[in-house]
Amino acid sequence: MADVAVRLTQLTKRFGGDATGRRVAKFVDGATPGDSILAVDHIDLEVRDREFFSLLGPSGCGKTTTLRMIGGFEQPTSGRIELAGEDVTWLPPYQRNVNTVFQNYALFPHLTVFENVAFGLRRRKVADGEVRTRVTEMLALVELPGYERRKPGQLSGGQAQRVALARALVNKPAVLLLDEPLGALDLKLRKQMQVELKRIQQEVGITFIYVTHDQEEAMTMSDRIAVMSRGRYEQLGDPEVLYEHPKTRFVAGFLGVSNLLPATRAGSVNGYAGFRLGSGTAVRVPLTLLEGRAAGYAVGVRPEKIRLFEPKDEVPAGLNQAPGVISDASYLGVSTQYIVTLADGHRVTVYEQNVQRATKAELWASGEQVVLAWAPEHCFVVEDGGATDTASIETPSPEPVVA
Amino acid sequence: MTATTAPITLAGPPRSVARRGARWIAGNLPWVYVGLVILYLVVPIAVIALFSFNDPVSKSNLVWHGFTLKYWLNPLGVPGLGDALATSLRIAFASTAVATVLGTLIALALVRYDFRGKGLANLLIFLPMATPEIVLGASLLTLFVQVGQPRSELTILIAHIMFNISYVVVTVRARLAGFDRNLEEAAMDLGANPWTTFWRVTFPLILPGIVAAALLAFSLSIDDFVITNFTAGPTVTFPMFIWGAARVGVPVQVNVIGTIIFVAAVGLVAISTLAQRRRSA
Ligand SMILES: Nc1ncnc2c1ncn2[C@@H]1O[C@H](COP(=O)(O)OP(=O)(O)O)[C@@H](O)[C@H]1O
Ligand SMILES: [Mg+2]
């Protein structure tokens, strides 16, 4: 299919286990020279043409290794890499129509900004005149006109970032690989560059594969995201699907805050699956949300989807409800964050916009009895690994899988 | 009021001058210190330069007798001096060239690749620097005699290349240790094959280290006496010539040549420093 920019088939990278095992042992606590690290574990992936695709995951989950294999800097242990339908698995970097923006920018310190950007064109023996026009165009695109004669040492972090981008894009690669390119910038600049990167990507119409551990960054920019953990991705989809309907406990916890309540199936009634929570409360979930999930469920709901009622209030029909006690309230200005403890001791996070209740006196106070209510359609169902802590899931430890 | 201040003012001038001086020294102590160190380093060289203008009455150039330019106008006017200088320069250039190329390649291998015996190689590189020159010279002589190699300019050259390689490896390796490998990956990413990557990225970036190594090798070679003396046979280098001449009295021309070498060395270092500063600007 022509509209697939990159296809990975069973792509695997194992570090060590042989002669390099000694070096691996130096890197990883507890590893012995014979051990090997499965950095990338049989990944199948299709990145579409002109798409902004993100690999999102905690540090050490194999994002960089995956990207480096696509770029040609790392040789896969097994599997296959195709670019626009062509098998490039064993081609060196300089024979792949792919360019990379490195996390530390990797600008050539001995060359001017102009020569940095022109480097790729010069390698392809592009005529001088054309080099000049294309470099000038590219510097205009990244909003650095007039910087041609500077050396990388005279640039700020944000400017160096733009030069690195220009240097890669000027070659009109089929795919641009970006490894946490904004990691070294301060928050304000990072936000600004996120918008800028998205604009540039749409302007040049090149496929971007973007690596980040920042879920907000991935959500802001990406058309689709693969959430990675321990050398594989747990779920792939557009940001909205990943947020609203995470498939696993890990994805639910990595993107935003979620409440996960272990539940047991209890029949189904006209399109809804019944569940019984640990506290004995019965809740309903649309049957369609169970698709693709193995048994052993937990029912999840995002904090902003829950509404709080007084016990004497009439809760609108059709909502799931669960009684609880407010155990903490933090006023955040735009909203208030409550921690509500259910009858079985589970703690649930709730965000309430400060609209109906806005002053201190009106907010719920610790110890007050409340009823949590949320629409069945706002639930999501994850396969439950059996963990019981439900408030907000911490990112799983970034320890590598030692095989 | 005036009565109380008057005695102080009276006694003031001598004491306050001393105090002001002391305060000045305290305030500028780092500069005073640096000045003294520089003086310490420069005085012997200044003496050499000064005595190249001396017009001694006897063969020994140890007492100032009067100013003359005649030795500067005829710097090679001592039999043997010109040949000795030419020999030293030949050996210095040749050993620097060979040692710089070999040493740079060894440094690249030691930093870039993992291979069996790398630890041993790293250790052996230090040996020529750690071994006393006199031991090295004597053992080289034994070696040359054992293999039946007559001593000549060639044996000096072999010896100089040997110790120069060590210094080049250590100098270039230090430069390579801080080298960002991502730069080479970036070059390949942009379409440069390994050969182009080396010449366009790696080499220009480690060049300052290579130049420093070459300068060091050159100066080590041109002034080496101990090892050279063991391996020279009938050949006479510049330092050997001076050593021989010193028994009767060092000719003023030696001061002239010494001054020229010194000025040339300082000039080279200045040029390479300036060039580097311009490149990184
Ligand atoms: N050159 C290497 N040698 C040995 N192990 C490595 C090497 N590079 C990466 N790893 C290991 O592979 C795993 C994945 O690393 P990486 O792809 O860099 O993760 P990420 O980019 O997601 O933080 C980590 O456990 C890391 O320690
Ligand atoms: Mg990484």
Is pLDDT at A22 greater than 60 in this prediction?
no
d(CA A41, CA A55) in angstroms, rounded, equals: 14
Q: Are A17 and A35 contacting, i.e. CB atoms less than 8 angstroms apart? A: yes
* pLDDT of amino acid B13: 54
d(CA B75, CA B203) in angstroms, rounded, equals: 39
Task: Give contacts of B185 with chain A, Cβ < 8 Å.
Answer: 71, 73, 93, 100, 102, 106
A90 lines ligand 1 (CB under 6 A): no
Is pLDDT at A17 greater than 80 in this prediction?
no
Phi, psi of A354 (to 5 degrees): -85, 70
Among the residue ranges A186-190, B50-54, B161-165, the one predicted with the least confidence is A186-190
Interface test with chain B among A100, A154, A163, by most B beta carbons within 10 Å: A100
- pLDDT band for A1, please (50, 70, 90 cuts): very low
Phi, psi of B71 (to 5 degrees): -75, -30
- pLDDT band for B99, please (50, 70, 90 cuts): very high
Cα→Cα distances A92→A11, A98, A142, Å: 17, 11, 28
- Copy the structure tokens of residue A298: 């937990």
Q: How far is A358 from chain B (nearest CA, A)?
A: 53
A37 lines ligand 1 (CB under 6 A): yes
Residue indicated by tokens 């703690």: A347
Question: What ipTM, to 2 d.p.?
Answer: 0.78
Q: B269 touching A, CB under 8 A? A: no
Order across the sheet with A379-383: list the strands: A282-286, A272-277, A259-269, A297-301, A379-383
* Mean pLDDT across B260-267: 88
d(CA A376, CA A319) in angstroms, rounded, equals: 6
Looking from the CA of residue A13, the nearest atom of ligand 1 is 12
* pLDDT of amino acid B140: 93
* pLDDT of amino acid A316: 84
Chain B residue with minimal CA distance to A118? B190
A69 lines ligand 1 (CB under 6 A): no
Task: Give contacts of A98 with chain B, Cβ < 8 Å.
Answer: 189
Q: A119 touching B, CB under 8 A? A: yes
- pLDDT band for B1, please (50, 70, 90 cuts): very low
Is pLDDT at A367 greater than 80 in this prediction?
yes
Nearest CA to ligand 1 atom 26: A60
Task: Give contacts of B186 with chain A, Cβ < 8 Å.
Answer: 100, 102, 106-108
Is pLDDT at B200 greater than 90 in this prediction?
yes
Is pLDDT at A392 greater than 70 in this prediction?
no
Residue indicated by tokens 């990595």: A254
Of residues B110, B156, B153, B112, the one with CA closest to residue B137: B156
Task: Give contacts of A75 with chain B, Cβ < 8 Å.
Answer: none
CB atoms within 10 A of CB A223: 17
CATH superfamily of A4-241: P-loop containing nucleotide triphosphate hydrolases (3.40.50.300)
Contact B185 A93 (CB under 8 A): yes
Q: In this structure, what DSSP letter does residue B198 have?
A: I
d(CA A82, CA A110) in angstroms, rounded, equals: 35
d(CA A357, CA A363) in angstroms, rounded, equals: 6
Phi, psi of A16 (to 5 degrees): 80, -160
Contact A119 B190 (CB under 8 A): yes
Is pLDDT at A5 greater than 70 in this prediction?
yes
Q: Are B229 and B137 contacting, i.e. CB atoms less than 8 angstroms apart? A: yes
Is pLDDT at B203 greater than 70 in this prediction?
yes
* Mean pLDDT across A24-52: 74
* pLDDT of amino acid B69: 87
d(CA A299, CA A276) in angstroms, rounded, equals: 10
Q: How far is A93 from chain B (nearest CA, A)?
A: 5
Contacts of A66 (CB under 8 A, 6+ apart): A8, A11, A13, A40, A43, A55, A211, A228
Of residues A310, A322, A345, A324, the one with CA closest to residue A275: A322
Task: Give contacts of B189 with chain A, Cβ < 8 Å.
Answer: 71-73, 93-94, 98-100, 168
* Amino acid making up residue A172: K
d(CA A178, CA B172) in angstroms, rounded, equals: 32
- B79-250 under CATH 1.10.3720.10, yes or no: yes
Is pLDDT at B25 greater than 70 in this prediction?
yes
* Amino acid making up residue A385: G
d(CA A157, CA A112) in angstroms, rounded, equals: 16
The upper half-sphere exposure of residue A226, i.e. CA atoms within 13 Å in the direction of its Cβ, equals 24
Cα→Cα distances B153→A155, A281, A304, B87, Å: 52, 98, 87, 8
Is pLDDT at A97 greater than 60 in this prediction?
yes
Q: Provide long-range contacts, Cβ within 8 A and 24+ apart, for A129-135.
A: A134/A170, A135/A166, A135/A170
Do the bridges between strand A86-87 and strand A36-48 make them parallel or antiparallel, or are there none, so unpaired?
unpaired
* pLDDT of amino acid B279: 65
Q: In this structure, what DSSP letter does residue B52 have?
A: T
**A62 C-alpha to ligand 1 centroid (Å):** 6
Residue indicated by tokens 């012997």: B44
* Mean pLDDT across B65-88: 88
Q: In this structure, what DSSP letter does residue A293 have?
A: P
Contacts of A292 (CB under 8 A, 6+ apart): A247
Is pLDDT at B67 greater than 60 in this prediction?
yes
Which of B182, B188, B205 is nearest residue A94 as measured by Cβ atoms?
A: B188
Domains of chain B, by residue range, sit at 79-250
Of residues B182, B279, B189, B194, the one with CA closest to residue A111: B279
* pLDDT of amino acid A387: 45
* Average pLDDT score, chain A: 84
Residue indicated by tokens 């040609």: A72
* pLDDT of amino acid A177: 95
Length reported for chain B: 281
**A21 C-alpha to ligand 1 centroid (Å):** 13
Which of B191, B205, B281 is nearest residue A123 as measured by Cβ atoms?
A: B191
Chain segment A160-194, per-residue pLDDT in tens: 989 999 999 999 999 999 999 888 788 888 888 89
CATH superfamily of A247-383: Nucleic acid-binding proteins (2.40.50.140)
Nearest CA to ligand 1 atom 25: A400
Q: How far is A102 from chain B (nearest CA, A)?
A: 8
Q: Are A191 and A99 contacting, i.e. CB atoms less than 8 angstroms apart? A: no
* Mean pLDDT across B162-177: 92
* pLDDT of amino acid A21: 44
Domains of chain A, by residue range, sit at 4-241, 247-383
Chain segment A303-319, per-residue pLDDT in tens: 888 888 888 888 888 88
* pLDDT of amino acid B6: 45
Q: A50 touching B, CB under 8 A? A: no
* pLDDT of amino acid B5: 44
**B231 C-alpha to ligand 2 centroid (Å):** 56
Indicate the helix (H) or strand (E) that contains B44: helix B29-51
Residue indicated by tokens 């050490």: A60
B272, B274, B277, B281 alpha-carbon torsion, rounded to 10°: -130
